[in-house]
Structure 1
Amino acid sequence: MPHTFRKAERLHSRTTITQLFEQGSGWGKYPFRVVWMLLTELKGAPVEVMMSVSKKKFKRANKRNLLRRRMKEAWRLNNSPLKLFLEENHLRVACAIIYLPSEELTYSDIEKGMKKNMERLMDEIKAALSPTGV
């Protein structure tokens, strides 16, 4: 599977984002907070994701952009197992990933955190799909 992050994979719909933060479930696992929700409509990319960095913690736009770029790159290179799992089960997910630390992390730290959170996301989706809900 090619390592891409197409426009269709970016979460940009205001209604979906509002629903995500109102009805979605999530967790905080350093260095990110992840909020996710299963989507009912089966048309589109298997996963739609948005990345966010706090303006309160990083006043300068260039720092926020740098961190967002690092997050997107870590996502792009490591999302293949999640995409395959969602495609096999004919599911769609909306996901928001929020950067938590108030200091700038290196790309390797961001990538480790992204991998951990993607594994947790897959586990959470599997748990939501199981008949017992556990």
Structure 2
Amino acid sequence: MTPDLSTAFFNYGQIHARSVKAIMSRLNSEPGFGDRLLTWLDDCSKCHLKAVDPDRAKIAMCDLVALRISCYGFSVKDGKLKTTDLGGGRECFLMLCHALALIAKYDRELGAELASDARQYADQQFENIKLLLV
């Protein structure tokens, strides 16, 4: 890993750990995945190879998706699921995009795989919510 990329992972972990903590403090309840996501962000700062471990990175991307979803309110209008960002949803989306871009710089194939996994997970979760509400 190049020094620039190491620094980028370090900065990502530091900056976004603070953001995740702030978002979680605004939620009605502590998400069960919060500690796991914060541990992954800590790994970004301290041990980049742990952060890009494919299995751990996949879990972290899904946790970022879950955090984003937890920032939304849901309703149904005309049989369609409507979302309202209650605060933090956009920020979580940007964190996810930043993570995927950073990982793709490290390993393009892994970045593409994780982007696909995150999208599938998001689609599945939104479908589950829709089934519960519609």
TM-score normalised by length of structure 2: 0.33
| Higher relative strand content | 1
| Higher relative helix content | 2
Larger Rg: 2
Higher relative contact order at CA 8 Å, sep ≥6: structure 1 or structure 2? 1
TM-score normalised by length of structure 1: 0.33
